[in-house]
Amino acid sequence: MQFYSSIAKGYDELYSEEQQIKHRIIKENLKIKNSDFLLDVGCGTGLLDFNCNVIGLDPSLDLLMQNNPLGHIENKIVARAENMPFKDNSFDKVISVTSMHNFDSIGKGIQEIKRVGKNEFAFSILKKTKNFDLIEEKIKNNFNIRKIIDGKKDWIFICSKIFK
Ligand SMILES: C[S@@+](CC[C@H](N)C(=O)[O-])C[C@H]1O[C@@H](n2cnc3c(N)ncnc32)[C@H](O)[C@@H]1O
């Protein structure tokens, strides 16, 4: 987390091009309506530009304060994925882009994402992260994976909720 805060000012210059490829894939694969409420978990500087009500959550105030002109996030919240200040089923869509490998507890973060989301989810996971197998296993155990897409540096999982 401290690493991301320390590179906050230069983050977009370093990563915006590669992150926008992943955002575009997610946009094409989630059926987003203008009226949808979408939560972006680990939103960083807020590069996202989706046509709906977007709420961004990230523990790094430095990243959230960058106010990226390319992005369009109405509300930003300083918090961690593992403990989100939202009621159950608050969001039509929940996404997390290249962020899960940073969670202190991947299991708790994924449980929280499942709790606050209604049914559609997209997770972009860095291929080279050492936690990849663990993250994939937790996604498989908690969601119904509809599609896995090659996002160059990441695998992108398009999921729905498993109702037990
Ligand atoms: C590679 S950046 C991705 C940022 C953004 N999703 C994007 O596409 O540009 C990883 C992000 O994960 C965030 N992060 C770190 N620990 C987190 C946690 N416990 N919960 C949520 N986000 C976290 C970092 O602050 C950082 O913004």
Measured in Å, residue 65 CA sits from the centre of ligand 1 at 14
User: Per-residue pLDDT tens for 43-92?
Assistant: 999 888 899 999 999 999 989 988 666 667 779 999 999 999 999 999 99
| Index of the ligand 1 atom closest to the CA of residue 16 | 9
SS3 readout for 74-138: CEEEECECCECCCCCCCEEEEEEECCHHHCCCHHHHHHHHHHHEEEEEEEEEECCCCCHHHHHHH
User: Per-residue pLDDT tens for 11-38?
Assistant: 777 778 888 999 999 999 998 999 999 9
Nearest Cα to Cα of residue 93 among 150, 151, 35: 35
Nearest Cα to Cα of residue 21 among 118, 153, 135, 128: 153
Is there an atom of ligand 1 within 6 Å of 42 CB? yes
Residue bearing tokens 């230069």? 10
| Index of the ligand 1 atom closest to the CA of residue 96 | 6
Is there an atom of ligand 1 within 6 Å of 68 CB? no
Is there an atom of ligand 1 within 6 Å of 11 CB? no
Q: What is the pTM of this model?
A: 0.94
Sketch out the chain's domains with CATH numbers: 2-161 (3.40.50.150)
User: Cα(first)–Cα(last) distance of the chain, in Å?
Assistant: 34
**Position 93, amino acid:** K
